[in-house]
Chain A
Amino acid sequence: MNPGELQAPDIEWSALSPSLIVFTAAVLGVLVEAFVPRRSRYVAEVVLSALALAGAFAAVVVLASGGHATSEAQIAGMGSLAVDGPALFLQGVIVLVGLVSVFLFAERRLEPAAHGAAVDSFAAQPAAVPGGQAEQEAVRAGHTTTEIFPLLLFAVGGMLLFPAANDLLVLFIALEVLSLPLYLLCALARRRRLLSQEAAVKYFLLGAFASAFLLFGIAMLYGYAGSLSYARIGDVVRGEPSALDPGLAGTMGNDALLLIGGAMILVGLLFKVGAVPFHMWTPDVYQGAPTPVTGFMAAATKVAAFGAILRLLYVVLPGLRWDWEPVLWGVAIASMVAGAVIAITQTDVKRLLAYSSIAHAGFILSGVVAVSEDGVSSVLFYLGAYSFVTLGAFAVVTLVRDAGGEATHLSKWAGLGRRSPLLASVFALFLLAFAGIPLTSGFAGKFAVFRAAADAGAMGLVIVGVIASAIAAFFYVRVIVLMFFSEPKAEGPSVVIPSPLTMSVVALAAAVTVVLGVAPQYFLDLASQAGVFVR
């Protein structure tokens, strides 16, 4: 590509419309907080967020059907953002996950009403000290935190940019835009606020650390290539620095900078997907965050971060393949095995799902390592399938409650199958999908990534993956045993009948799980059409 063309001052508004819509709505959401009276904020925010995300999804569909995913793929925004197959596919998934999460966030029938006002799972007044005077007053007044919706929208906006970023600075900004609202959201649980705040602090500190790594890596790569643009760095890596800028040719191409910088950027991204050894934050944050936030975070962050990893590895660093491939092999194997093994000992359902997400990060990485179009499309498909199973599973977790709020300790789930057969069956379906049992979406996804890996000659990864799946099956099955074959406890939790919001989320997730398992072809087609990165 001729660098001169990239200087064109125009912005392709329509090609960038999905993220623009979301950001506009997020800003509007902040204005709603400022100017709309408290009693009507909830409705205004929910409607605004839902419409914005639906609109963004429509924009993605229009762009994709206009060929932007294939023949018309382009680099927009003066070289900063790619509009191509993987970006649009992942943006579609993220927007849908965000839309479904809005429903979970808006659920107000689970908590007992506070003085006549229906409340959600978020803190009445997050700024108040837990247990303090101000908090009690806020609870008594029935206050709710409607700021969660603009925060969600900002996070979604950042996630939309993340896999599309075609410039290292944009990558960093997208990372921060998606992370900061998430740190805040993690701290907002209505119950167990200390745990929730602890989770947020941990996530923030470790996240900031990872961001620093990423930024440092970006600086190194700039030093290496003299550019932040993916395409130009990729060219330099391929070994033609002089063709770009003869004047700078002498200063470019220091391999030490490239290796260290590339590794540091990878560290920052692997932190976000929660791969071993950068997974330490996952269980604590998953457990402490309000469950709707956990569901959103677990599903959407993973999608966005894997998108960014794919683009970085396939567009910027393909020339370095022989260096990063063995590293990612190691990370994938460690994630699969550690995630599956540690999950066995967990006693809290949210922590269990956290470790399971670590194992899944490993499975997805084995598709990333394939370095082929098949690899990309299998990862895309896996991410789509996985995010809905995850959302569904966490949605079910919000429903199982006792007097102290959500009953997340596994011993309390004993006999759930007798009390609420339907809900327990749906949760069992999600667990079986996680375990990769045929006829569920999890199996189709797992098969896709393993086949891509095997095709690329990584049979070793496949065998480790299969063994890890067998180990993982053990703890998924353990939960099913607990739900169906144990006697219900007298003082056990009950399943709260939610509003249609959560019901529709669970139903949708279950439907997606079955459809992607039984008839995945249409979505595999979509993913395989979306398998090519624009350079």
Chain B
Amino acid sequence: MSFPLLTATAVAPALGAVVTAAVPAARRTTAKWLAFGFSLLTLALAAAVVLRFDTAPGADRFQLTESRSWIPDFGVRYELGVDGIGVAMIALTAVLIPFLIGAGWNDADPVEGEAPANRRWRPTQGFFALILMVEAMVILSFAATDVFLFYIFFEAMLIPMYFLIGGFGDRAGEQGEEGQARQRSYAAVKFLLYNLAGGLVMLAAVIGLYVATADQLPEGTFSLQAILEARQSGELDFAADTERWLFLGFFLAFAVKAPLWPLHTWLPNAMGESTAPVAVLITAVVDKVGTFAMLRFCLGMFPEASEWATPVVVGLALVSIIYGALLAIGQRDMKRLIAYASISHFGFIVLGVFAMTSQGHGGATLYMINHGIATAALMLVAGFLIARRGSRLIADYGGVQKTAPVLAGTFLIGGLATLSLPGTGPFVSEFLVLVSAFSRWQAVGIIACTGIVLAALYVLLLYQRTMTGPVKAGLEKLPDLRVREIAVVAPLIVLLVFLGVYPKPLTEILDPAVEHTMSDVDRTDPQPQHDVSEVEAAE
């Protein structure tokens, strides 16, 4: 058996988490560098995954597969494998984490002058260990091709995430330390309960899946590959009712995670109360598991039910797009604004997934990546700004571009990427999603387009209110970005522009996977409505 590269990619951060957590309380800096080192190691391994992945036509759908017996009694195998989408998502995760660690370098240090309750209390070590733990679980859930295995990591990642949200927040705030702690634990509990409830519904569906496959196949299975193959060969054919219930069970969990309106309400709380790197971790990495899973599991295993649900899902996606954008415009809190903007963007992703055209699927997967990077850039700069002033309220800022031009500039670029300015990565993906929506249902495409206009509003208004105008009192001596902060943001911006101008390396990896998904759902792209020859004749 060849070297288990995917396992290694996940074990590296998990090992890093253990090592980081074990560093003594006084050696905080050591812990930070260790965590950073392990995140780089993970990145290197992820790079190896990308390089080893064969994009040639006719290559296997799932590559770098590993398969070991785990709990035969439950029919569960430790099965990993990636298609192009999985590779891209793992790469995104591995790329973002080192930046998040860099951005959160001092976020979890104990407040100076405050005596620790216990000499073994090590918040800094814990913070970085938890981030690495989340990374390990996310990578495993992107790589799992066994439904049960996926479920395990999908659920297990909630626990470290929960401690990250509840345990670490911005310094001080208008409500004072105690009020903020209360808000934070509220946000953490809300996050956990929403996701746990969704996950438990999925558990019922996972069990149902086993029972349903056990009915028709020689024995029940959780293996995605086995299920897909059996479906292709016609061996497995769920009854319509069964398929719909199973689909709903899975979809609900993913819709909570994604999050789709009306299951989104935990996201603004969670992103608002946590520190900027954790907020990015939630929206750019963890939530992507939800949309990724829709594409891989819902569409793959239940194509007919997916089609049955499409009108409703697309409707919810449209509501998410518009509702998220409208609420973003109305926010007074910078981080919550970005959270609502993300809800709007997740609407686009879901729309792309359920448009069921190759452009839609390609656009949706590209969107996941570009949104991850763009949100990371915007949110991290916002986090730097908030750390300087000690407030998340937009009204507390003004004229920042005069005192901190670099900060303002990077903020603007992150913002423009968020509103999908041509030339930045998100533009390509949003364009593809819109094209696919138009080609399926014109009205949907038109409604979705208003999302772009609204995006311009919330981003530019945010920039105008915080960065331009007269310098607000208390901001006269606002320090500009430090070297560490620039080092974190600059590469992200470079990536955004690069993917905007030259997305080909990414699409090369994604395309074969998109074709496979299209064949899963047994759909072809709709033909243009006007006959080309007619148009030519008219000319």
Q: Which of A's residues lie within 8 Å of B, judged by CB?
A: 415, 418-422, 432, 435, 437-439, 443-444, 447-448, 450-451, 454-455, 459, 462-463, 466-467, 469-470, 473-474, 477-478, 481, 484-488, 520-521, 524-525, 528
Given A454-B211, A485-B184, A477 and B167 touching (CB < 8 A)? no
| B539 located at the interface, meaning its Cβ lies under 8 Å from any Cβ of chain A in the complex | no
Q: Is the CB of B118 within 8 A of A487?
A: no
B226 at the interface (CB under 8 A from A): no
Given A455-B214, A485-B185, A488-B117, decide whether A462 and B193 contact each other with a Cβ distance below 8 A.
no
> How far is it, in angstroms, between the C-alpha of A435 and the C-alpha of B195 when the chains are bound?
14
Known interface pairs A415-B117, A421-B120. Does A477 touch B192 (Cβ–Cβ under 8 Å)?
Answer: yes
B155 to A, closest residue via Cβ:
A438
Q: Is B62 an interface residue (CB 8 A)?
A: no
Q: Which residues of B contact A528 (CB under 8 A)?
A: 73
Chain B residue contacts of A443, Cβ below 8 A: 152
Contacts of A419 in B (CB 8 A): 117-118
Task: List 11 A-B residue pairs with CB atoms under 8 Å apart, sorted by A's residue number.
Answer: A415-B117, A419-B117, A421-B121, A421-B122, A435-B196, A473-B193, A477-B193, A478-B189, A486-B181, A521-B70, A524-B71
A481 touches B185 (CB 8 A): yes
Q: Which of B198-206, B312-320, B357-365 contacts its partner?
A: B198-206
Q: With A462-B207, A477-B162, A485-B166 given, can you name 13 additional A-B contacts, CB distance below 8 Å?
A: A420-B118, A438-B156, A447-B207, A448-B74, A450-B203, A450-B204, A459-B204, A469-B200, A473-B196, A478-B189, A484-B163, A525-B73, A528-B73
A299 to B416, CA, bound (A): 60
Residues in chain B near residue A422, CB distance under 8 A: 120
User: Interface readout for B438-450 with A: 1 if CB under 8 Å, 0 if not?
Assistant: 0000000000000
Chain B residues, CB < 8 A from A448: 73-74
Fill in one digit per residue for B97-123: 1 if any A CB lies within 8 Å of its CB, else 0. Answer: 000000000000000000001101110
Q: Is the CB of B73 within 8 A of A521?
A: yes
From residue 158 to 209 of chain B, which have CB atoms closer than 8 A to chain A?
Answer: 158-159, 162-163, 166-167, 178, 181, 184-185, 188-189, 192-193, 196-197, 200-201, 203-204, 207-208
A467 to B203, alpha carbons, bound, how many Å?
11
Q: Is the CB of A463 within 8 A of B152?
A: no
**Complex CA distance for A297 and B491, rounded to whole angstroms:** 60
**Once bound together, how far apart are the Cα atoms of A1 and B239, in whole Å?**
45
| A418 to B117 CA separation, bound complex (whole angstroms) | 6
Do the beta carbons of B181 and A487 come within 8 Å of each other? yes
Contact of A459 among B166, B181, B208 (CB under 8 A): B208
B127 to chain A, nearest CB (A): 13
Q: Are B152 and A454 in contact (CB under 8 A)?
A: no
B74 touches A451 (CB 8 A): yes
Taking a contact as CB atoms under 8 Å apart, the answer to whether A454 and B159 are in contact is: no
**What 10 pairs between A and B have smallest CB-CB spacing?**
A485-B185, A418-B117, A438-B152, A524-B73, A470-B197, A466-B200, A466-B204, A485-B166, A438-B155, A454-B207
Contact B196 A481 (CB under 8 A): no
Q: How many A-B residue pairs have CB under 8 A?
A: 104
In the bound complex, do residue A447 and residue B203 qualify as a contact, i.e. CB atoms below 8 Å apart? yes
What residues of B have a CB within 8 angstroms of the CB of A485 in the complex? 166-167, 181, 184-185, 188
Q: Bound state CA distance, A420 and B119, in angstroms? A: 10
Across the interface, which residues of B come within 8 angstroms of A481, CB to CB?
166, 185, 188-189
Establish whether residues B155 and A487, one from each chain, have CB atoms under 8 Å apart when the complex forms.
Answer: no
B384 contacts partner chain A, Cβ-Cβ < 8 Å: no
User: In the complex, which residues of chain A have a beta carbon less than 8 angstroms from the beta carbon of B192?
Assistant: 473, 477
CA distance A207 to B80 in the complex (A): 53
Question: Please, how many angstroms separate the alpha-carbon atoms of A469 and B166 in the complex?
Answer: 22
A463 to B201 Cα, complex, angstroms: 8
**A480: nearest residue on chain B (CB-CB)?**
B162
**Cα A447 to Cα B73 with chains together (Å):** 11
The answer to whether B151 has its CB under 8 Å from any CB of chain A is yes
Q: Is B210 an interface residue (CB 8 A)?
A: yes
Chain B residue total in the interface (Cβ 8 A): 40
The answer to whether B72 has its CB under 8 Å from any CB of chain A is yes
B121 touches A418 (CB 8 A): yes
Distance between Cα atoms of A435 and B71 in the complex (Å):
21
Other-chain residue from B74, B118, B184 in contact with A418 (beta carbon distance below 8 A): B118
Distance in Å: Cβ of B184 to nearest Cβ of chain A: 7
The distance in angstroms between the C-alpha atoms of A422 and B71, with both chains bound, is 30
The answer to whether B201 and A466 touch across the interface, beta carbons within 8 angstroms, is yes
State in angstroms the CA–CA spacing of A415 and B120 once bound together. Answer: 14
Q: Which residues of B contact A455 (CB under 8 A)?
A: 211, 214
Q: Is there contact, CB below 8 Å, between A451 and B210? A: yes
Task: Give Cα A525–Cα B74 distance, bound, in whole angstroms.
Answer: 11
Q: Which of B65-92 contact A (CB under 8 A)?
A: 70-74
Chain A residues with CB under 8 A of B197: 470, 473
Q: Tell me the complex Cα distance, A488–B114, Å.
A: 14
Report how far A528 CA is from B75 CA in the complex, Å.
Answer: 14
Once the chains are docked, how many angstroms separate the CA of A484 from the CA of B118? Answer: 13
User: Which residues in B have their C-beta under 8 angstroms from that of A467?
Assistant: 200
**Residues of B contacting A477 with CB < 8 Å?**
162, 189, 192-193, 196
Q: How far is the CA of A438 from the CA of B166 in the complex (A)?
A: 20
Give the CA-CA distance A466 to B197 in the complex, in Å: 8
Most buried by B among A419, A485, A488, A525: A485
Question: Considering the chains assembled together, what is the distance between the CA atoms of A78 and B155 in angstroms?
Answer: 51
Q: Which of B181, B188, B207 contacts A450 (CB 8 A)?
A: B207
Minimal Cβ-Cβ distance residue in B for A470: B197
Query: A469 — which chain B residues lie within 8 A by C-beta?
Result: 200
Contact B167 A484 (CB under 8 A): yes
Identify which of B73, B120, B166, B196 gathers the most chain A CB atoms within 10 Å of its CB: B73
Contacts of B152 in A (CB 8 A): 438-439, 443
Inter-chain contact B200/A484, CB cutoff 8 Å: no
Contacts of B211 in A (CB 8 A): 451, 454-455, 459
Residues of A within 8 A of B196 (CB): 435, 470, 473, 477
Bound together, the chains give a CA A418 to CA B181 distance in angstroms of: 14
Chain A contacts for B167, CB-based, 8 A: 484-485
* B159 contacts across to A, CB distance below 8 A: 432, 437
Q: How far, in angstroms, from A435 to B214 measured CA to CA in the complex? A: 27
Are the CB atoms of A447 and B74 closer together than 8 Å? yes
How far apart are A146's CB and chain B's nearest CB, in angstroms?
A: 36
A272 to B122, CA, bound (A): 44
Q: How far is the CB of A59 from chain B (nearest CB, A)?
A: 27
The distance in angstroms between the C-alpha atoms of A474 and B200, with both chains bound, is 13
By a CB distance below 8 angstroms, the chain A residues around B162 are 477
Q: When A438-B151, A439-B156, A485-B188 are in contact, do A474 and B193 touch as well, CB less than 8 Å?
A: yes
Contacts of B210 in A (CB 8 A): 451, 454
CA distance A251 to B210 in the complex (A): 48
Min CB distance A335 to B, Å, is: 18
B380 to chain A, nearest CB (A): 24
In the complex, A349→B294 CA distance in Å? 40
Smallest CB–CB gap between A457 and chain B, Å?
9
A435 to chain B: which residues have CB within 8 Å?
A: 196
- Closest chain-A Cβ to B9's Cβ sits at a distance in Å of 19
Bound form: Cα–Cα A463–B207 in Å: 10
Task: Report the bound CA distance from A528 to B74 in whole Å.
Answer: 11
Tell me which residues across on chain B come within 8 A of A521, comparing CB atoms: 70-73
- B14, chain A: closest CB distance, angstroms: 12
The distance from the CB of B117 to the nearest CB of chain A, in whole angstroms, is 4
* Most chain A CB neighbours (cut-off 10 Å) among B121, B151, B181, B203: B203
**Structural contact, A451 and B207, CB atoms closer than 8 A:** yes
CB distance from B45 to the nearest CB of A (A): 22
* Smallest CB gap from B166: residue in A: A485
Least CB separation from B202: chain A residue: A466
Chain B neighbourhood of A470, CB < 8 A: 193, 196-197, 200
A4 and B193 alpha carbons, distance in the complex (Å)? 61
Taken together as a complex, chains A and B put the C-alpha atoms of A484 and B74 apart, in Å, by 34
Contacts of B70 in A (CB 8 A): 521
Given A438-B156, A473-B196, the answer on whether A486 and B185 have CB atoms closer than 8 Å is yes
The residues of A that contact B207 with a CB separation of less than 8 Å are: 447, 450-451, 454, 462
Chain A residues whose CB sits within 8 angstroms of the CB of B71 once the complex forms: 444, 520-521, 524
A388 vs B468: C-alpha distance in the bound complex, in angstroms?
Answer: 62
